[in-house]
Amino acid sequence: MNSADNKIILESTLAKRIIPCLDIKDGRTVKGTNFIELRDAGDPVELAAAYAIQGADEIVFLDITATIEKRKTLAQLVNRIAKTINIPFTVGGGIGSMEDVSVLLGAGADKITINTAAFNDPSLISTIAANAGSQCVVVAIDTKLEADGEWYVYLNGGRKRTEMKCRDWAKQLVEMGAGEILLTSMNHDGTKKGFALELTAEIAGSVSIPVIASGGCGSMEHFAEVFLEGRADAALAASVFHFKEIQIPDLKTFLSSKAIEVRI
């Protein structure tokens, strides 16, 4: 099948996606390092519009303080985003039910991302897929490499360990109807030492849906690695963009010079 594989690679001009992630708290953008320290990095709508103009392919908004009383505020923010930007965007954080999903999609989100709730009740994935289509269901996995050499799934923003291995959960959530996987290595997140290449390659190579790599990027080379070695379909990052350590136009020019298809 090697020659056929090569043929398929040549016959697709789908671009690798660059996705800034905006963590939202009280309507403002923040980014934690190793899920703890938070720094303020601006207004989400303005920041998203700026990223869209710079060439971001998509934007992810994660409401890290999502609670029931905040839900309405989030929907209003989503509505403002939908009216402002002309690229797709995903919203997540504390989504626990089809009702939560309907509110966000109704406000204009293109996709939603779910994590803990999907793990605790995988039928939520199929419910959303049946009601709104697989294309809008991005299942996020936070995973950690442990001493036994296995990647385990963590919940509740990395605070709760499970016995589930990442590769097993990835296969299950595809069967339930997920449209994409947002894969975050907790070992790499916040380190700026690069993405989890082996993990990303393993998961991307074992599921039939796109995989978005997340966690650990600190340089433009890291993006090239995660597309070439990690076989990721998209790469997500936050602080390197928010603090202008990497500018998206420069990043795309760099990736293009490495013969990686990107939208310029």
Question: Catalytic residue positions?
Answer: 23, 142
Interaction of residue 224 with other proteins, rule CB under 8 A: no
Are the C-beta atoms of residues 132 and 101 closer than 8 Å to each other? yes
Interaction of residue 179 with other proteins, rule CB under 8 A: yes
| Among the listed residues 78, 116, 80, 83, the one whose alpha carbon sits nearest the alpha carbon of residue 97 | 116
Q: Which of 67, 76, 123, 206 binds other proteins (CB under 8 A)?
A: 206
Q: Which of 209, 235, 240, 255 binds other proteins (CB under 8 A)?
A: 209
Contact segment (CB under 8 A) with other proteins among 38-46, 105-113, 164-172, 218-226 equals 105-113
Contact segment (CB under 8 A) with other proteins among 21-29, 151-159, 204-212, 244-252 equals 204-212
Cα gap 121→222, rounded to integer Å: 34
Interaction of residue 80 with other proteins, rule CB under 8 A: no
Are the C-beta atoms of residues 112 and 128 closer than 8 Å to each other? yes
| Among the listed residues 20, 19, 30, the one whose alpha carbon sits nearest the alpha carbon of residue 63 | 30
59-63 and 160-165 as β-strands: parallel, antiparallel, unpaired? unpaired
Cα gap 11→65, rounded to integer Å: 43
How many residues bind other proteins (CB under 8 A)? The answer is 40
135 versus 257: smaller Cβ distance to other proteins: 135
Q: How far is the CB of 161 from other proteins (least distance, A)?
A: 28
Sequence-distant (6+) residues with CB within 8 A of 129 are: 137, 176, 177, 178, 179
Interaction of residue 87 with other proteins, rule CB under 8 A: yes
Give the chain's largest Cα–Cα span.
Answer: 55
Q: Which of 36, 69, 86, 163 binds other proteins (CB under 8 A)?
A: 86
Catalog residues that contact other proteins under the rule CB under 8 A: 5, 8-9, 11-17, 52, 57-58, 82-84, 86-88, 106, 108, 110, 132-136, 179-180, 204-210, 231, 233-234, 263
